[in-house]
Amino acid sequence: MKKIVVIVIVGLYLGSIFVVNFFGLNYVPHEMTVFVDKIECNTISDLSGKDIPYYQITQDPETQKDKKWFKIKFIEGSYTTEEKSLAENKNTFKINFSVFPIGANNKAVKLSYTPNDAKYIVDESQMTVTFLKRSTVEITIIADDGSGVSEMIAVEALKKV
């Protein structure tokens, strides 16, 4: 009886090797998708590269999320929406943000804002906002990976003192 049990076990073992090789059951590693869990915008910078930190955080009444406020000094001038004029506009600011975790598969973001070409222009490809007149623009930076993670900011262009 003991001899039959050993023969059956060895037969099953050899049979399983044959079945696995015959059907090609190989281990295929599955790459895990890492989603964005935080977007952080702590500064904006002017064309010279000078960083401007946020000065206060308020809670947005609609979404109940924190909104960071940036205050810039608007430099008076006659500005148009032409590309040349925008490139020379001293009221152009780059939005600096970080996406976490560092190993996220898709770090792309999109911006949500209310367009107003008479007061400001937001360039999503360069992540800049250019003010043509004194005003405030509220921008939401949204992760493009479907996670729904976002960061709300508001940039105020005030009269130069």
pTM to 2 decimals? 0.77
- The pLDDT of residue 41 is 94
What pLDDT is stored for residue 160 in this prediction? 65
- Specify the higher pLDDT residue, 148 or 2: 148
Q: Which amino acid type is present at position 17? A: I
**Domain spans, the chain:** 38-159
Distance CA 130, CA 116 (A): 11
pLDDT, position 27: 64
Is domain 38-159 in CATH 3.40.50.1000, yes or no? no
Helix, coil or strand: residue 14: helix
For residue range 100-154, what is the model confidence (pLDDT) as tens digits?
999 899 999 999 999 998 899 999 999 999 999 999 999 999 999 989 999 999 9
**CB hemisphere CA count around 67 (13 angstroms):** 16
The radius of gyration of the chain from alpha carbons, rounded to an integer in Å, stands at 28
CA distance 38 to 58: 18
pLDDT of residue 161: 46
Q: How far is CA 17 from the centre of its chain?
A: 48
Determine the 3-state secondary structure of 160 from DSSP.
coil
Tens of pLDDT, residues 54-67:
999 999 888 888 99
